[in-house]
């Protein structure tokens, strides 16, 4: 190993153990200089709220608390499912004011149907993989190209849908025939990630092909929401409306607790068109594995599912608009997941409607009082029109990169209004940046950790050490073919002779030689067809897991 390579690997050095506490004490002292200023008082209150202790005991307790909360939400979901299943007295039961449950859900169903239509397209070209973990792959192996190349997990229903839709003559299908192994799995797998100092966040790793199909449906919901002014590609819309709400006090910002985990099966089946219910149900995970034990879900989908974010946005938008319709209140409605912005006049009836549907507004993160100038949505915090968005210290400052990121965020916070760093913040920054070698001053990214943002000319940046990994380019090539499928005559069907590959036959011949063969087409592919047709033989196996 050369001296240069060794230096690159050790550049992100460890800081003294006492340095973190010294910096935090100094940071608290900085807040005392701004006593009476809302932005200083506010950051002092919240900047450690998301701090996660690195100790094993702390991590274990946060995880246990998160799983318990998730299971408690499932108990509530069970009650909600029973309530929504029983429609016998919906005509006389009131959801708010004098509006019956029956009338409310008729209007809600009408609004949702008008947005999404009768059924989604089942065109496989709309599907895709993300870079996240799945039940078969860790995040480090989560690149979409690897997922196109390697074996895949899928629930039986999702595999049936996928197998029915894929064209058996496309390169991906031929690659599956010769290289893939389909692994049946009952459902998704629960995991947790740090959220706050007290509790983790729960999410679930989905089977590979389930995610592929879920994203196809989620992207369609996303596009159809655009037609009614809900752009899930731009959360700054909610941020700007929160600013407006903090000034005019006419718009409320609402946040829901465990929102995605509270979307119940009965709510979806009652509100969504049958074609959508069928498509979504076929690719969802009915079961979740929690530390080796299987749990039958009362929720429709969880965080980690490829359509959960879009589905919850659709349902919340529909509930908000339905409430607005029956109250007769006009005004702006905007949703981004569980971040809702609505006219203040409809907040009370909206909370009642949400509660009936199984959702709970978080009072600590929701603001609608006309006397309160504070509003927050999508990570933007405003007080009477002034940006007071805080920074958060999420972990100990233990390495050089931790210190660089912290100081960059401090400078960004100090310059959030007007672009000039507050002199008090600048003094703090000047004191502690002496612990960063000057070679890494002059950075340009205030959200980065590779170089310290200062007024100096750019010098050097740290370079993350990336381990060499041997891999095949077949997956990348298959991913490219899938991505460009829309350029062909029939979307979702791969025709190499029509796709432009005929203009670059050398590349196609390379792929053909490596993963495609007549033998694969005539034997393995049809053998897999037979294994699919015999999928019912797996029922006893899954029934055994269900009993567990």
Of residues 485 and 29, more confidence is placed in: 29
**R_g over Cα of the chain:** 27
Q: Are residues 350 and 427 in the same domain?
A: no
Q: What is the CATH number of the domain that holds 357?
A: 3.90.1850.10
Same domain, 351 and 404: no
Percent of the chain past pLDDT 90, that is, above it, reads 64
Examine residue 492 and state whether it is found in any structural domain, yes or no: no
Q: Which of 22-36, 301-315, 489-503, 510-524 tops mean pLDDT?
A: 301-315
Distance CA 131, CA 79 (A): 35
Final residue of a structural domain among 438, 458, 483:
483
Q: What DSSP assignment string belongs to 361-374?
A: E-GGG-B--TT--E
Tell whether 474 is covered by a domain. Answer: yes
pLDDT tens string 96-117: 999 999 999 999 999 999 999 9
The confidence score (pLDDT) of residue 501 equals: 37
pLDDT for residue 530 = 37
**Domain ranges, residue 419:** 1-47+392-483
In sequence order, which residues have a C-beta less than 8 Å from that of residue 505 and are 6 or more positions away?
Answer: none
* Residue 152 or 281, more confident: 281
**Confidence class for position 134, pLDDT limits 50, 70, 90:** very high
Q: Give the percent of the chain with pLDDT over 70.
A: 85
Q: What is the per-residue pLDDT for 529?
A: 39
Q: Are residues 178 and 229 in the same domain?
A: yes
What are the pLDDT digits (tens) for 435-445? 999 999 999 99
Query: Looking at the domain assignment, is residue 147 inside a domain?
Result: yes
pLDDT band (50, 70, 90) for residue 166: confident
DSSP assignment of 377-429: ETTEEEETTEE-------S---BHHHHHHHHHHHHHHHTTTTSS--HHHHHHH
Flag whether 97 is in a domain: no
- Please check whether residues 228 and 299 belong to one and the same domain: yes
Alpha-carbon distance of 237 to 335, in angstroms, equals 9
188-228 pLDDT, tens digit each? 999 999 888 889 999 999 999 999 999 999 999 999 999 99
The reported pLDDT for the residue numbered 304 is 92
Query: Of 454, 483, 512, which marks where a domain is finished?
Result: 483
Q: Both 373 and 401 in a single domain? A: no
Say how many domains are in the chain.
2
Whether residue 100 lies inside any domain: the answer is no
Q: What does the pLDDT read at residue 162?
A: 92
Task: Judge contact between 323 and 343, C-beta under 8 A.
Answer: no
pLDDT at site 335: 98
* Residue 323 included in any domain: yes
Identify whether residues 338 and 464 lie together within a single domain: no
Return the residue matching tokens 């319709």: 325
Task: Give yes or no: residues 293 and 370 share one domain.
Answer: yes
| Segment 360-385 mean pLDDT | 95
Of the candidates 179, 189, 172, the one whose C-alpha atom is nearest the C-alpha of residue 137 is: 189
Residues 369 and 409 in one domain: no
Same-domain check for residues 296 and 244: yes
pLDDT higher at 146 or 405: 405
| pTM confidence score | 0.86
373 touches 246 (CB < 8 A): yes
Are 368 and 438 found together in one domain? no
Nearest residue to 525 via CA among 146, 166, 145, 156: 166
Residue 265 has pLDDT above 70, yes or no: yes
Tell me, yes or no, whether 270 and 293 share the same domain. Answer: yes
Give the per-residue pLDDT at 9. 58
**Residues 155-168: b if buried by 16+ CB within 10 A, e if exposed:** bbbbbebbbeebee
**Least confidently predicted of 333-347, 405-419, 451-465, 527-541:** 527-541
State mean pLDDT over 333-346: 97
pLDDT bucket at 343, cuts 50 / 70 / 90: very high
pLDDT in tens, 34-89: 677 899 999 999 999 888 877 777 889 999 999 999 999 999 999 999 999 999 99
Which of the two residues, 149 and 118, has the higher pLDDT score? 118
Q: Where are the alpha helices (DSSP H) in 342-399?
A: 347-356
Residue at which a domain ends, from 365, 387, 409: 387
Of 43, 33, 21, 62, nearest in space to 392 by CA: 43
86, 342 in Cβ contact below 8 A? Answer: no
Mean pLDDT of the chain: 85
CA dist., res. 307 & res. 230, Å (int)? 16
Q: Quick check: 528 pLDDT over 60?
A: no
- Name the token pair of 122: 């089942």
Q: Domain check: are 195 and 336 in the same one?
A: yes
Residue 85 maps to a domain: no
């Amino acid at each position: 190993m050369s001296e240069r390579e060794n230096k690159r690997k050790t550049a992100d050095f460890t800081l003294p153990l006492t340095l973190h506490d010294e910096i935090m004490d100094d940071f608290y002292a900085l807040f005392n200089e701004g006593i009476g200023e809302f932005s200083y008082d506010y950051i002092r209150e919240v900047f450690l709220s998301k701090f996660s202790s690195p100790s094993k005991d702390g991590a274990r307790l946060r995880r246990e608390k998160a799983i318990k909360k998730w299971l408690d939400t499932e108990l509530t979901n069970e009650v909600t499912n029973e309530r929504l299943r029983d429609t016998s007295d919906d005509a006389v039961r009131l959801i708010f004011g004098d509006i019956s449950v029956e009338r409310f859900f008729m209007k809600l169903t009408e609004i949702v149907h008008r947005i999404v239509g009768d059924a989604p397209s089942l065109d496989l070209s709309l599907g895709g993989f993300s870079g996240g973990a799945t039940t078969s792959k860790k995040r480090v192996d989560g690149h979409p190209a690897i997922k196109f190349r390697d074996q895949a997990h899928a629930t039986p229903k999702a595999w049936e849908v996928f197998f029915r839709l894929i064209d058996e003559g496309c390169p991906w299908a031929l690659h599956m025939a010769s290289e893939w192994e389909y692994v049946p799995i009952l459902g998704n797998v629960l995991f947790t990630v740090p959220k706050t100092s007290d509790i983790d966040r729960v999410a679930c790793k989905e089977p590979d092909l389930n995610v592929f199909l879920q994203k196809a449906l989620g992207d369609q919901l996303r596009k159809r929401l655009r037609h009614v002014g809900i752009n899930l590609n731009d959360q700054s819309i909610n941020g700007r409306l929160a600013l407006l709400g903090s000034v005019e006090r006419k718009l409320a910002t609402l946040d829901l607790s465990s929102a995605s985990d509270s979307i119940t099966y009965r709510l979806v089946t009652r509100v969504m068109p049958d074609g959508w219910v069928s498509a979504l149900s076929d690719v969802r995970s009915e079961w979740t594995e929690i530390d080796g034990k299987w749990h039958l879900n009362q929720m429709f989908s969880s965080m980690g599912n490829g359509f959960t974010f879009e589905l919850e946005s659709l349902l919340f938008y529909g509930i908000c608009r339905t409430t607005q319709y029956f109250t007769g209140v006009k005004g702006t409605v905007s949703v981004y997941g569980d971040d809702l912005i609505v006219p203040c006049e409809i907040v009370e009836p909206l909370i009642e409607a949400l509660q009936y549907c199984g959702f709970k507004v978080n009072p600590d993160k929701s603001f609608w009082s006309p006397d309160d100038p504070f509003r927050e949505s999508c990570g933007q915090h405003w007080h009477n029109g002034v940006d007071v968005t805080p920074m958060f210290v999420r972990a100990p400052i233990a390495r050089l990169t931790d210190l660089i990121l912290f100081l960059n965020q401090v400078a960004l916070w100090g310059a959030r209004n007007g672009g000039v760093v507050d002199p008090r913040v600048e003094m703090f920054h000047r004191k502690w940046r002496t612990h960063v070698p000057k070679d890494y001053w002059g950075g340009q990214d205030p959200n980065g950790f590779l170089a310290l943002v200062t007024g100096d000319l750019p010098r050097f940046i740290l370079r993350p050490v990336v381990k060499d990994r041997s891999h095949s380019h077949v997956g990348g090539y298959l991913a490219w073919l899938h991505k460009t499928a829309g350029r062909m005559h029939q979307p979702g069907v791969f025709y190499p002779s029509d796709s432009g590959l005929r203009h670059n036959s050398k590349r196609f011949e390379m792929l053909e030689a490596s993963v495609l063969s007549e033998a694969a087409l005539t034997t393995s592919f049809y053998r897999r067809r037979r294994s699919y047709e015999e999928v019912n033989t797996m029922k006893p196996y899954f029934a055994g897991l269900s009993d567990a």
